[in-house]
């Protein structure tokens, strides 16, 4: 009986090594996945320093204009808003992001109380160099910057790891932002 694994030529095994190497790169290339999670990107003190000189409202305070202008929802509208965040034909956000304070982190940063935070400071996520540069340039997440980011992530911050198509529909983006304001109070 012939033992082909022993008689195989070096080039046969070389192809396997090449395919394996390419395969290890593909999750990063296609999904923006990264094999290691950074537990803490920035200390609480450093985050405070970044925000101390910027006067942003508390987006989650029930007296803020952002909360006051949130529309009261019927059951059907609430489902619509949730679907914009969760569903495949909506923003697809929930596939990678958690939102509630008690939710466990998934592949992407937790979005709990995202508004008013500097970019690139969430825990348990390894940020791209592009997003770290944005943090150092002072990018803050506000409803307006999130709207710009999710409309075309790669155009807004080239080289960031959120490799999904942008949400062209303005109404869907508005629903997602309202959901972020409502759900992480």
Partner 1 sequence: MNDHKLKTLSSITSWIVFLLFLVVFKNISETPTVPTESLERLLLRNFHIATGSLLFVCSFFRIALWFIFTPQNNNSKLPDFAYAQIHVLQFSLYCAFIAQGISGMMSAWWDGLIQFVPGIDTINHGLWVTVGYLHSAFGFFYITLILFIIFFRIYHMIRYQVFSLNIFA
The footprint of partner 1 (CB under 8 A) covers: 1-5, 7-9, 12-13, 15-16, 19-20, 22-24, 26-27, 31, 33-37, 39, 86-88, 94-95, 104-105, 107, 124
- Minimum distance from CB of 25 to partner 1 (Å)? 8
Axis crossing angle, helix 170-183 with helix 75-86, rounded to the nearest 10: 100
Q: Which is nearer to partner 1, 15 or 54 (CB)?
A: 15
Q: Which is nearer to partner 1, 33 or 70 (CB)?
A: 33
d(CA 70, CA 179) in angstroms, rounded, equals 10
Query: Which residue, 107 or 132, is less far from partner 1 as judged by CB?
Result: 107
How near is the Cβ of 41 to partner 1 at its closest, in Å?
14
Q: How would you class 93 by CB atoms within 10 Å of its CB: exposed for 0-12, middle for 13-18, buried for 19 or more?
A: buried
Task: Identify the burial level of 52 via C-beta atoms within 10 angstroms of its C-beta, where 0-12 means exposed, 13-18 middle and 19 or more buried.
Answer: exposed
- DSSP for 139-175? -B--HHHHHHHHH-HHHHSTT-S--S-----HHHHHH
Write down the least CB distance from residue 55 to partner 1, Å.
34
Our CB check for partner 1 shows the closer of 48 and 123 to be 123
Nearer to partner 1, 29 or 54 (CB): 29
- Choose between 1 and 75: whose C-beta lies nearer to partner 1: 1
Query: At residue 102, what are phi and psi to the nearest 5 degrees?
Result: -85, -5
Closest residue by Cα to residue 39 from 121, 128, 145: 121
Q: Is 35 exposed, middle or buried (0-12, 13-18, 19+ CB in 10 A)?
A: exposed
Shortest CB 103 distance to partner 1, Å: 10
Least CB distance from residue 130 to partner 1, whole Å?
20
Measured from the CB of residue 27, what is the shortest distance to partner 1 in angstroms?
4
């Amino acid at each position: 009986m012939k033992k082909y694994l022993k008689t195989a030529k070096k080039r046969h095994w070389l192809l396997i090594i090449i395919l394996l190497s390419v395969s290890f790169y593909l999750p990063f290339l296609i999904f923006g996945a990264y094999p290691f999670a950074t537990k803490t990107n920035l200390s609480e003190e450093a985050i405070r320093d970044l925000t101390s000189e910027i006067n942003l409202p508390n987006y989650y305070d029930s007296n803020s204009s952002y909360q006051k202008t949130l529309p009261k929802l019927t059951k059907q509208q609430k489902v619509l808003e949730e679907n914009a965040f969760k569903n495949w034909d909506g923003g697809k956000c929930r596939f990678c992001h958690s939102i509630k304070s008690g939710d466990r982190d998934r592949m992407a940063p937790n979005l709990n109380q995202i508004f008013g935070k500097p970019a690139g400071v969430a825990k348990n996520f390894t940020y791209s160099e592009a997003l770290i540069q944005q943090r150092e340039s002072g990018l803050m997440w506000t409803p307006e910057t999130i709207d710009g980011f999710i409309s075309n992530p790669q155009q807004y911050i080239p080289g960031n790891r959120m490799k999904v198509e942008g949400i062209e529909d303005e109404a869907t983006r508005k629903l997602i932002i309202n959901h972020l304001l409502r759900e992480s109070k």
